[in-house]
Structure formats: C-alpha cells, structure tokens
Structure 1
Amino acid sequence: MNTLRFDRPVAPDGYAWWYVDALSDDGRHGITLIAFLGSVFSPWYALARRRGPADPLNHACLNVSLYGAPRRWAMTDRPRSAVERDATHLAIGPSSLEWDGEALTIRIDEVTAPIPSRLRGTVRVIPGALNRRVFELDAAGRHRWSPIAAVARVEVALESPALRWSGAAYFDTNEGDAPLERDFVEWDWCRAPGPEGTAILYEATRRDGTTQCLALRAPPSGDVEEVEAPPRATLPPTRIWRIPRATRVGKGGAARVTQTLEDTPFYSRSVLSTRLLGTDRSAVHESLLLDRFRLPVVQAMLAFRVPRARR
C-alpha cells in the first residue's frame, strides 16, 4: 500500500479512498472531502456488486461536505470514463486531486444534491509530517488504513459559495479488496488534535465476531505510535436516525457531543469535547452501521443523494 500514489491497483469489488477533514480556527466552519475509487457508500456500486464482480473505477466520486454557514453536500457517482490518474494526480469528472510532494491540492467542481447548486473552489492541505505506517483492519488483511498526515493545516478558498478560511486538518487513506459490509458490522473513529500531536481512535466490530481497537498518537514530527486505549464511553445516539455513538476517554475526563454534523440512516459525523493524551480537546468523530447500509430501503434513499453521472 503506497499511501500517496493515486495509481495503485484496486481489486474488483474493492475500493481506495483518500479522506480529508478540517475545522476552521474560529470553529465556525468545517469541511470533509473523500475521493473514492470504488465508492463504498454508492447505491450504484452496491447494485453492481450484487450482479457480479464490479469494476471500482466505474464508480468513482469526490464527496464534499461543507459545514457551518452555508452548508453544502455533493456526491456524484461517475463512470470509468470520468477517471484519469497517475502517481500524483487523480481526476474524477471535473474535480481533481494533486500531490506535489509538499501539499495536496483539491480542485472542486461539483453539483450538490438533492437540491442542485454549484460547489466550486480549491482546498489545499499542507501536512506537518508524513506517516509511513499502515494498519490492517481485519484478520485477513483485506482492509488497510494509513493516517498519512494526522497533523496538517488546510487553506479553503471557495468561489461558490464564496468562502475562505484556514484551520487544523487531517488526511488519511483506506483501501480494501472486498466490500466493507462483507467484513465489518460497524465501526467508530475519531481524531483529536492537540499541541503535542493528534490522538486517533479506530474501533471496528468484524463479521467474524472479533474486534479491532487502535489507539494512536501522531506527533508533529512523523510516524504514528500506538498508545494504551483509554476506557470506553457511551455517547447519546443521534436525534433523527438514532445512530448509536461511543468513544474512548482519558482518565479524569468526559466526552460530550457539541455538534452533530451528519445524521443519516447508517452514518453519523459529530464534533466532541473530550479528553485524550492527558489534555482536553475537540474531536471529529464518526460512527458507521453497515447492516443499516445494506437495507434495501436505505439503498433506495441513497439514490436521491448520490446521483449517477453518465460521463
């Protein structure tokens, strides 16, 4: 797994994605971007997999979630003809990612859904250091994850809507040789930046009944290091879809949800106030329920949020 190559092979029914999330320094804005080859949450890719081995590059997208004021969301499933890539460049339709050795530049040109509006601009991610470690998330090694730059800065310059801000950012990548729902029941993840580095928690329940629990510290200087996992803490479920949420909290601390960014039938993204690595800090947290994702009614609902482009 070469984490910064956009041209690495992707297995049939598999996936590769590059994930960026960031919050503004003033706490008023946030953005999450995910470039997918094999869009794991696309109903069109799920349908193709049910018919037989599916081509992941025929289901590519750039998912953009903009939080604060204004809010925007875009996720268009695009065919293989819309994908161009080499080691340092990935184009998915009119949007693209480019790595120049020092920064990741994401050029966004998307249409929001279900209400169409233009989402256009540039996001530049500047890593503090690059991590080389890769973690296997399942016993068979079919799913791999690497926090490429858990300590980073972001510069957001959008034309539509007109918005500029900067803040702390996080950049990671996942790849897999099988659908997520085949090997996992659920997971939760969070990252919490701090002065001495970013704390990362990744906890998954596998289909075989085993679990994966990773507790990591990402110092500003380089590779992540494993730390002792703090005790588990339950959070309140989301209000609309009642997604259960949980995390881990350091000694003497407590965790609470300060903002729910996404509340969907199978997925939530939240901002937490928590304590990790000995300090109080703000964290971005997500919970994923893959049994709910598999439900036919959820797949039908997703088709309205994830349109399929012809080219």
Structure 2
Amino acid sequence: MPAQGPRFDVAVAPNGYAWWYIDAFSEDRRFGLTIIAFIGSVFSPYYKLSGRGRPDNHCAINVALNGPGSGRWAMTERPAHRVNRGADHFVVGPSSLRWDGDTLVIDVNEISAPLPYPVRGQIRVSPEMIGTTAFSLDPAGRHRWHPVAPRARVEVDMVHPGVRWSGEGYFDSNFGDEPLEDGFVDWHWSRAHMKKDVAVLYEGTRRDGTPFDLALKFDKQGRWHDVTPPPTAALPRTGWLVKRATRADAGTDPRVVKTWIDAPFYARSALSARMFGEDVQAVHESLSLDRFRSPIIRSMLPYRMPRAFW
C-alpha cells in the first residue's frame, strides 16, 4: 500500500486507532527515548469504557526518557476539544508534533505519572530515508504498519529533566480498524541499524491463532526487500514475567542491555545481538495482549495513564 510522511490527518473509525512511534539512542548509548502519539489510545481504560465510539476523544502523547538522572514517563490522555490535527500537525493539549517535510519537531510539555514531575523540551527527528510502503499485519488489512523513517537523526533538548543529546533514531506508525487485542494474541518487534541497511523484524500470533511475520531490510533510499530471518533466540523474561523472544544469527546469544519499560503486559528493551553477520544494538519490544485483557491489569492502568478533562 503506498504511503508517505506521517499523515496526521488519517481517518480513524470507531473502535480504531492510530499511533506514531519514535525511538532513539544517544551516541554513547547512555540515554534513550521513545515517544508515541495516539489517536484512540489502544491501552486506554477510558477508551474501552467509552465504547470506543470516538477515537479523537482519547488522544495522548506518551514520552519515556531513559538515562542517568533523566528517567521520566508521561502519558496523559486528553479529550477531543484539546486535539487539533491536520496532514502535517498533531496537537494534544500542551504538546505537539509537526512535520515540515524534512523534520518532525516534537514539543513536549507534560507531567509524569505517578509522581508529578515536569517533562518539558523539544525533540527533532530528521529522516535519513523515507519509507513509502505500508504493510498489512492481517489478511483483511484491519491492522497496518508504516515504517515512516527507518533511520533518522534525532536531537533531544529537554529542559525538565535537563539533558541534551543526539543520536540515531527510528520512526514508524500503526493503524487499525478494531481494538488491538481483538486482532492479536502477542507480538515481538525489533529494529536494528546496520552499517548500510536497517533491519526490522516483526512477528506474532493473530487472535485466530495464525502467525504473522515480517523480516525486512531498508536501504539508504528507503527501499525495502524481504530477507530470511535469523533463527529464533530466547531472551530472559521481564520482572513481570512477560515472555520475550528475538532473532539472532545461529550460534550467537543476544543480550538484554537495558529494559527501558517493564510493564505487566509489555516490555521495551535495548539489545546487543548479532544479526545478518553484523554486531548490532537493537530496540526490541514484546507485547502480550492476553495479559492486557486481564481486568486486574486494566485496573492498574489509570495510575500510569491519567486522563485530563481540560
């Protein structure tokens, strides 16, 4: 399916969702970040309780910062009257993303949870390649993934916490026409910047029990091609006992360098691995949607994901 740029004006139907995801490492690997901007926030207990009839009434910009003295998490959901979006901009309350055709500028002005620390600053994401293809994750095309910029230059200038750094990053987006947990049981995803290409591995189990998997490489022009994935490699479970798995060259053992986010149903980690004959530093995530369905886990979410009404 053809696609280009972030396109923040995408139509999101009732029960659906859209998100734009950015991750990055600092040059020295001491700092990292992820930012996810949601329409119809897929993990929101408020969206589910509402009946999921108005995705635009459940938007959030999630900011997760990692590194010495700079750990922060913020994800405040806001209603439709605090949202403004078009093809090149997405404003949620006091924070925003805007695309000028060359750079994605993210202005963050949030409060962390559960402890209320300010999270304020600017992140600039400058793609080194633009992906022009979106991929279906299920045969009916209800869930779609678009790697917007598999490789990008990221500049971070945070006022709170006071930290500045730059490094390589990644930018993609996902869209769906039904709740995520209705489409999938679980998935494992990773991206690795190689010397010339970017490798992305995306696999899991659909709700009907069928597997899905993508193994792709993107060249410097953003062109993609299928590759044979390396063998499956186990990773240690998280503190919440979420199962993690990845891919690595035969005879090698990938290593979890740092678990950035350890949640009851989700983990995001930095890995050191050997893939496609190269030593790489990868970003990896594992998601268990069976766990997410648990009423006990859903009851925990408001403490980390508050909803504002202004």
Correspondence for 1:209: 209
Q: Deviations over 1:158-200 (max 9, x none)?
A: 1111110000100000000000000100001001111111111
RMSD: 1.1
Partner of 2:141 in structure 1? 141
Q: Does 1:269 align with 2:268?
A: yes
Take 2:12 and 2:20, find their aligned partners in 1: how far apart are those partners? Answer: 13
Task: Give 1:5's aligned residue.
Answer: 7
Unaligned runs of 5+ in 2: none
Q: Is the 8 A contact 1:78 1:93 kept in 2?
A: yes
SS across alignment from 2:159: strand
Q: Does 1:170 align with 2:136?
A: no
Question: 3-state DSSP class of the match of 2:81?
Answer: helix
Counterpart in the other structure of 1:282: 281
Secondary structure at the counterpart of residue 170 of structure 2: strand
The 2-side partners of 1:302 and 1:229 are apart by 35
Aligned length: 307
Corresponding position: 1:34 with 2:36: yes
Cα distance in structure 2, aligned partners of 1:213 and 1:283? 18
Are residues 1:72 and 2:72 paired?
A: yes
| Partners of 1:251 and 1:278 within 8 A in 2 | no
Query: Which residue of structure 1 lines up, in the alignment, with residue 236 of structure 2?
Result: 236
Q: Which amino acid aligns with 1:48?
A: S
Query: 2:181–2:290: 8 Å Cα contact kept in structure 1?
Result: yes
Supply the AA of the counterpart residue of 1:199.
Answer: A
Q: Which residue matches 1:16?
A: 18
- Give the residue type in structure 1 aligned to 2:13: A
Q: Distance in 1 between matches of 2:49 and 2:255?
A: 37
Give secondary structure in 2 for the equivalent of 1:107. Answer: strand
More moved, 116-125 vs 221-230? 221-230
Alpha-carbon shift at residue 224 of structure 1 (Å): 2.2
Alpha-carbon distance in 2 for matches of 1:151, 1:277: 18
**Residue aligning to 1:219:** 219
Given residue 217 of structure 2, which amino acid in structure 1 is its aligned partner? R
What is the identity percentage for the equivalent residue pairs of Structure 1 and Structure 2? 53
How much has 1:250 moved relative to structure 2? 2.1
SS of the aligned residue for 1:81 comes to helix
Offset from partner CA, 1:46-68 (integer Å, 9 cap, x none) = 2223xxx4211110000000001
Q: Give the 5 Å matches for 1:188-203.
A: 188-203=188-203
Runs (4+) of structure 1 exceeding 3 A deviation are none
CA offset digits 1:45-103 (Å, max 9, x no partner): 12223xxx421111000000000122000000110111101110110111000100101
C-alpha distance in 2 between matches for 1:89 and 1:217: 29
Shift of 1:126: 0.6
| 1:255 alignment counterpart | 254
Residue 125 of structure 1: SS of its match in structure 2? strand
Q: TM-score when scaled to structure 1?
A: 0.96
Equivalents in 2 of 1:308, 1:48: separation in Å? 13
1:123 matched to which residue of 2?
A: 123
CA–CA distance in structure 1, aligned partners of residues 215 and 249 of structure 2: 11
Q: Separation in 2 of the partners of 1:256 and 1:282?
A: 10
Label 1:285 to 1:273 Cα distance change in 2 as closer, same or farther (>3 A). same
For structure 1, the 5+ residue unaligned runs are none
Q: Take 1:225 and 1:68, find their aligned partners in 2: how far apart are those partners? A: 34
Query: What TM-score do you get using the length of structure 2 for normalisation?
Result: 0.97
